[in-house]
Amino acid sequence: MSLDSEELPFTRIYDQYFPDVYAFLRYLTKDPDEAEDLCQEVFLRYFAKYGISESPEVTNAKALLLRIAKNLFLNSRRRKGRFISTSDVQVETLPDNSHDFVTDHDWREYIDEISSKLRSEKDILAVIFVLRIVNGYSFREIANICGKTTRTIRRYMVQIKKILKK
């Protein structure tokens, strides 16, 4: 097998999923440099484990990459001990989620405000909120990304709604 034929799956996977992984991490970290560093680490870990060609054991590469990204983000926060203060926001007044939240400044600020409130409780709540409300993932997809059951994700969403109603 030539080197060129092995680079194609690597390039395809990277090009296809980099924007989503970066946007997810950029939103969570609020720091483009940290998001880029974490994003590179996500792909390094993915390719170290599954190789540079497409692996038959990976059925949903995007979910796996986002799971790695979520875990790296949570681990970095635990190491740094960074938590952000809260502010009041109502979940019922969310704008429609068709925005590109990386480029739309007002939308990003609004979501940041909500996420900060959730992060003060648990980082995982902010991650679930972003995946569900901002990115529009189903409970099953979020459960797959987070390594939880669908029922647990639904319980977290109930917690999120209660926190945002306060």
For helices 3-29 and 32-50, angle between their N-to-C axes, nearest 10 degrees: 140
Q: What is the pLDDT of residue 38?
A: 92
Q: Is 81 left (phi over 0), alpha (psi -120 to 50) or beta?
A: left
Q: What is the pLDDT of residue 106?
A: 62
Q: What is the pLDDT of residue 105?
A: 56
CATH number of 84-166: 1.10.10
Q: What is the pLDDT of residue 99?
A: 42
pTM: predicted TM-score of the whole model, two decimal places:
0.56
Ranges of residues in the chain with a pLDDT under 50 are 1-6, 82-103
As a three-state string, the secondary structure of 45-97 is: HHHHHHCCCCCCCCCCHHHHHHHHHHHHHHHHHHHHCCCCCCCCCCHHHCCCC
Domain ranges in the chain with CATH number 1.10.10: 84-166
Domain ranges in the chain with CATH number 1.10.1740.10: 1-82
Architecture of 1-82 per CATH? Orthogonal Bundle (1.10)
